Amino acid sequence: MGGRTVSLRSGDWSALSADASAVRIEVFVREQGIPAEEEWDERDAVSVHCVAYSAAGTPVGTGRLLPDGHIGRMAVLPAWRSAGVGAQILQRLVELGAAHGHRVLELSAQRSAEAFYRRHGFVAFGEPYDEVGIAHICMRRVCPA
């Protein structure tokens, strides 16, 4: 599909919750069947969120950076996958992590997305595990200086 033009907005949960939630509901709850009560946690309120928007202003992807340097809740709507949207969100979160003084960033990748994260400098560590019925692996990368 190649790169599609999106704009990124980063901020706190109070500013981005409606748009981030719309993407997360579609991807995690509807598509992957994760129970809604498993999707929301207290960490949203203390995280920096990034939302990607189409040219029409529709939210098409999201991710978050926790205060401890963990990236999570990365999600891109199906029609926007393989278009560079996830890469743009991830790059912004890595930049934000570096700006917040993190030397290393970690994430819990669904095994189906492991190759995506490897392409962006993340390395797997530990053993695969199950989270909400989906195989995951821990990954980390060094932040740019």
- What does the CA dihedral 51, 22, 130, 48 come to, rounded to 10 degrees? 30
Alpha helices in the chain (DSSP H): 13-24, 36-39, 85-99, 114-119
CATH of domain 7-142: 3.40.630.30
φ and ψ at residue 7, rounded to 5 degrees: -110, 145
Q: Tell me which DSSP letter residue 30 carries.
A: I
pLDDT in tens, the chain (145 residues): 456 779 999 999 999 999 999 999 999 999 999 888 888 899 999 999 999 999 999 999 999 999 999 999 999 999 999 999 999 999 999 999 999 999 999 999 999 999 999 999 999 999 999 988 889 999 999 998 7
Q: Which two tokens stand for residue 97?
A: 């992590």
Query: Are the C-beta atoms of 65 and 47 separated by less than 8 Å?
Result: yes
